[in-house]
Amino acid sequence: MGLDNVLQILVLGLMMVFIFAVIYSQIEITYKIGIGALVFSIIFIASLANQALKQQRDEDKRRRR
36 lies in a domain? yes
Cα separation, 2 vs 19, whole angstroms: 26
Q: Please tell me the predicted confidence (pLDDT) of residue 5.
A: 82
Q: Is residue 46 included in any domain, yes or no?
A: yes
**Total domains in the fold of the chain:** 1
Other CB atoms within 10 A of residue 42 CB: 13
In this model, does residue 1 exceed pLDDT 60?
no
pTM: 0.74
Q: What is the pLDDT of residues 2-57, one digit of tens each?
A: 667 888 888 888 888 888 878 888 889 898 888 889 888 988 998 898 889 889 98
Query: Is residue 65 one of the residues assigned to a domain?
Result: no
Show the domain range for 39.
Answer: 3-60
Q: What is the pLDDT of residue 59?
A: 92
C-beta atoms surrounding 4 within 10 Å? 10
**What per-residue confidence (pLDDT) applies to 2?**
67
